[in-house]
Amino acid sequence: MKSDGELEPTVFVIFGGAGDLTWRKLVPALFDLSQDRGLPSRFAVIAVDRAKSSDIVLRRRLHEGVNHFSRFGKSNAAAWNQFALHIHYQQGKFETLHTYTALGAQCAKLEKAWAAKAHRIFYMATPPSMFGEIPKYLGKAGLARDRDWARIVIEKPIGCDLESARALNSILAASFDESQIYRIDHYLGKETVQNLLAFRFANPLFEPLWNRRYIDYVTITVAETVGVEHRGGYYDHAGALRDMVQNHLTQLFCLVAMEPMVSFDADEIRNKKVDVLHAVRPIQRDTVPKSAVRGQYGSGDLNRKTMPGYCEEDGVARDSQTETFAALKLFIDNWRWQGVPFYLRTGKRLPQQASEVAIQFLAVPHQPFPPDASLGWQPSRLILSIQPEEGIVLGFQAKYPGPRMQLRPVDMRFYYRESFDAPSPDAYETLLWDVMKSDATLFMRADQVEAAWQLLMPVLEAWQATAPSDFPNYAAGTWGPEDVQGLLAPGHRWPLPTELTTAGMVTRKKS
Ligand code: BG6
């Protein structure tokens, strides 16, 4: 990036350029960036894919995608036409060297026309089966060589277990330096996820309380109402643990538990996150049922519609044993967190969409109020709401008005939409912008990916070794299998996600 903050000439190569991710996420994000922050005038998208197509056909389809998915809504024709001129299609097989030599020639041609050297970003938006191939060919064609100018972007899943993740990381490392590799976890691009660092480390108020002396337990919930949508084929081989826990929930966990960073340097932040994973008490294979619970949804009512069970979804085996719900109990063996359970849960077809972290503080050490004053008394709780509501709610005790001392729980709230008049960019906009700026802060490093797999391997192996006897064990539209209560220590509970009423007030949903 130039010193004045302007992006330098860039060629953005998308392998899988005719695919769904390009249509749904990448090009809408690039278009939105062009409208919002501005892309360099010397900028090109080269979409590489197998199918026969042309610039015109591809641009027409991508235009539809932008009209569907841009955060600015339907695009202005002039703005789109201007942007579309930067998009080019190149037909080619991903496993043929010729595709890459042709690509190199095309990049060189653009650079010649621009009279400037350009950054080359290679984005793998292909099925995962190609992740091991493309970097090899980029290496062979000499396109990975320039450490300061060539970058590769890879989406999850990064492997399907520790061994395959290590193998993929070594393939990447054979052609690219780690500093050139950008592993995307789109949760890290969300404003509210980035705000976890701001909240914890830009305020002196909370950090002194952020430890075992004041915190009883932490829950991290990522609840989805959606099922597997059109991705049954992929999901049925992945399941909730691989699809969500290994990446998104682990990232939230690391951000909540990490030590303060010394600087905002990408590796400093990533080191602190990896430290958390290294400190997690390993789950023992023979005690997995005490630390992990799995579930699969059966048919049920959600939002007044009857939903099919998981095994009735398209692309899913009728006798599938894949989990659509996973919950874990983790402990971190360090000074800050010794003895504090972290409960993580995620599931599909739950009653409400909600991603949130709840910090449950300990009760006061001595309760001086008369017993009838504190009926309904609850220790303080902090909810960091990632989505759909973006904000923070602090629940604490207050005196109920009247002659007697009576305590009632109340909330103090911060909402993004009320406090800031700037809309949140889509996570992909943030991440693509950062790749173009060569800022790796929000991307996963090889060691973190592997540490996350290492942590989950005993659970994956135990689940693989023993078929679930009770699937489906929760109905669509409920909060997961009953066994999930058994993970909790006495007195602990899963919080009910915050819900915004029409009056703009947050209430707790009744179970
Ligand atoms: C993806 C998972 O990574 O994240 C999906 O593969 C999941 O299964 C999605 O639905 C959730 O992302 P978001 O941003 O909608 O919470």
- For 50-93, write each residue's pLDDT tens digit: 999 999 999 999 999 999 999 999 999 999 999 999 999 999 99
Residue 371 has pLDDT above 90, yes or no: no
The yes-or-no answer on residue 248 being catalytic is: yes
pLDDT per position as a tens digit, 86-124? 999 999 999 999 999 999 999 999 999 999 999 999 999
φ, ψ for residue 281, nearest 5 deg:
-65, 125
Nearest CA to ligand 1 atom 15: 224
Cβ atoms of 344 and 456 within 8 Å: the answer is no
Query: How many angstroms separate the CA atoms of 268 and 457, rounded?
Result: 26
- 244-253 b/e (C-beta count within 10 Å ≥ 16 → b): bbbbbbbbbb
User: Residue 102: its pLDDT value, please?
Assistant: 97
- Which member of 88, 119, 248, 492 is catalytic? 248
Please list every protein residue whose CB sits less than 6 Å from any atom of ligand 1: 224, 243, 355
Give me the chain's average pLDDT, please: 93
Give residue 61 CA to ligand 1 midpoint distance, Å: 24
Which atom of ligand 1 lies closest to the CA of 355?
A: 16
Pocket test for ligand 1, best of 192, 243, 431, 444 (most atoms within 8 A of CB): 243
Q: What are the backbone angles phi and psi of residue 180, rounded to the nearest 5°?
A: -95, -5
Å from CA of 156 to ligand 1 middle? 11
pLDDT for res 5: 59
pLDDT digits (tens, 9 = 90+) for 455-465: 999 999 999 99
Nearest-atom index, ligand 1, CA of 353 = 16
- Does pLDDT of 358 surpass 70? yes
| pLDDT at residue 503 tops 60 | no
Query: What's the fold here for domain 10-155?
Result: Rossmann fold (3.40.50)
What's the gap in Å between 123 CA and the centre of ligand 1? Answer: 19
Q: Hey, which CATH number is domain 189-422+454-507, 3.30.360.10, 3.30.750.24, 3.90.226.30, 1.10.3720.10? A: 3.30.360.10
Peptide bond into 135 cis (omega under 30): no
* Whole-angstrom distance, CA of residue 19 vs CA of residue 30: 15
Instruction: Indicate which residue's Cα is closest to atom 13 of ligand 1.
Output: 187
Same CATH topology for 10-155 and 189-422+454-507: the answer is no
Write out the two tokens for 313: 């979804």
What ranges do the domains of the chain cover?
Answer: 10-155, 189-422+454-507
Give the three-state DSSP class for 475.
strand
CA–centroid distance, 184 to ligand 1, in Å, is 12
Q: Judge whether 424 and 71 are in contact, CB under 8 Å.
A: no
pLDDT-derived band at 4, boundaries 50, 70, 90: very low
- Across 159-187, average pLDDT: 97
**Pairing of the two strands 300-302 and 354-361:** unpaired
CB 201 within 8 A of CB 181: no
Q: Residue 271, CB half-sphere, CA atoms under 13 Å: how many? A: 9
Stretch 324-339: mean pLDDT:
98
> Residues 488, 327: contact at Cβ < 8 Å?
no
Cα distances (Å, whole numbers) of residue 423 to 190, 195, 428: 12, 15, 14
